[in-house]
Chain A
């Protein structure tokens, strides 16, 4: 096929590539924002803990049995037993500059405790309620209000993130579709003549599909390259000294440039898919007509 048959306005092409690139940049940028938010959430989740204080009479063996049970709990990530002696040691260490205070405290006055970390913040409430009715439990401490508020906003950020990602995908699809429709209108007479002289549907369709896929791919490559550059700058300038973590996939931890490469790949795949679907639907309507 002669490309000259599908001559297009250079300015129109440039405008379309810029539009789709900006949309993909926003899409990729949004993925970074979600990733950074997730990393923050994971940090908090790793630090947040429930502390269970036990009554003095409650035997240490029962506390250790409970600790064993909790270690096998799927919601729990870590359990740490702090004996009365260890609690006293920590207390004296923390207050070593206040001898008056230390004189009033004896080793047996501080309670033994279990420090429990959960895999998800949202599980803290559940575990806290489960353990609060147990024999020997004197008090359970965790920042319930803060955790609940944080969990709420985390869920909101997921929902908003998914909605925005979907919106940007729809916008990208619409831009590609409109671009190709404009182009089909521009070369409509040529397409009509091609049909009249016996061109197959594929002969008419293929150049436009190639054009749509190219538009998606070029835009995805440009936006992907910009996002990767951003990630490398952040990494090498030590602006963020942590790997990317996700609350919804606790086991996964990846370096920022690797995350940028994954986003790059996703954008390129999305660009090709959107370009293909957009161009096929744009030309199919014309061919059916």
Chain B
């Protein structure tokens, strides 16, 4: 059974432009899927629709059998705790140190202090930031900020981790550090859905590649390459 299923997903803006049109594909539990395509192809729209940051115009998204589009607004926080999200611009809190940035994700569900004290070192260890828990974001490199963002996304132990161009703002060395972490998370059973236009990553890792152009799927290849 698929964990995520997009059925004829369409997002049309008021000016008539289709960000995505009739997109259908499924992702199984534990899969690692690259969504590739040029800028403006519709990759980010798919990600935003999955976490209901955007409302699609038509179609369905099933997540663990439940139609995401029909989830009442008050239940969206629960959905967003099951789907961890990592963005290109990190979205870390500049006024909080590393440990507190991860703590934010736990505080919103009133996690008891003893549980927080257990989870935070674990996720920081997973992304290799265990020695930097007291540093503030301005003291971190771009790659470290992205690893912090991943650590925060992992705090709720999500079923799926969605990464929207996570390597877009970091150097090649940091890119591979982030990819290693994402692969490690994937081997532990978390489904990874990653939007990217970084050809070197896609070609090296040889995972499933779904290509979108002008809002429509043009190819879907197991162990694919960027240009296939």
Contact = CB atoms under 8 A, between A and B. Distances in A.
A53 to B, nearest CB: 78
Interface of B: 51, 53, 73-74, 77-81, 85, 91-93, 95, 104-105, 107-109, 152-153, 155-156
Contacts of A195: 77, 80
A1 B51 CA distance: 24
A199 B108 contact: yes
B104 A198 contact: no
Contact of B107 (A2, A7, A189, A196): A2
A38 B152 CA distance: 64
A201 interface: yes
A191 to B, nearest CB: 11
Contacts of B93: 189-190, 193
A192 interface: yes
A47 interface: no
Interface in A1-24: 1-2, 4-5, 7
Contacts of A190: 93, 95
A5 B93 CA distance: 9
Contacts of B108: 194, 197-200, 203
A197 B152 contact: yes
Contact of A196 (B78, B80, B109): B80
Contacts of B152: 197
Contact of A201 (B74, B95, B104): B74
A120 to B, nearest CB: 55
Contacts of A203: 77, 108
A193 B104 contact: yes
B107 A198 contact: no
Nearest to A203: B108
Contacts of A200: 74, 77, 108
A197 B74 contact: no
Contacts of B156: 197-198
A197 B78 contact: no
Interface of A: 1-2, 4-5, 7, 189-190, 192-201, 203
Contacts of B51: 196
Contacts of A194: 104, 108
Question: 6 tightest A-B contacts by CB?
Answer: A199-B108, A198-B81, A197-B105, A198-B80, A198-B77, A200-B77
Contacts of A197: 80-81, 104-105, 108, 152-153, 155-156
A72 B53 CA distance: 73
A7 B95 contact: yes
Given A4-B95, A197-B155, 5 more contacts: A194-B104, A195-B77, A196-B51, A197-B104, A201-B77
Nearest to B84: A197
B117 to A, nearest CB: 15
A118 to B, nearest CB: 61
Given A197-B152, A198-B81, A1 B91 contact: no
Contacts of A193: 91-93, 104
Interface centre among A5, A195, A198 (most CB of B within 10 A): A198
A195 B53 CA distance: 10
A198 B79 CA distance: 7
Interface centre among B74, B108, B109 (most CB of A within 10 A): B108
A280 B105 CA distance: 24
Given A197-B104, A198-B109, A198-B156, A189 B91 contact: yes
Contacts of A7: 95
A199 B155 CA distance: 13
A200 B81 CA distance: 11
Nearest to B153: A197
A4 B109 CA distance: 17
Given A1-B107, A190-B93, A196 B74 contact: no
B73 to A, nearest CB: 8
Contacts of B95: 4, 7, 190
Contacts of A201: 73-74, 77
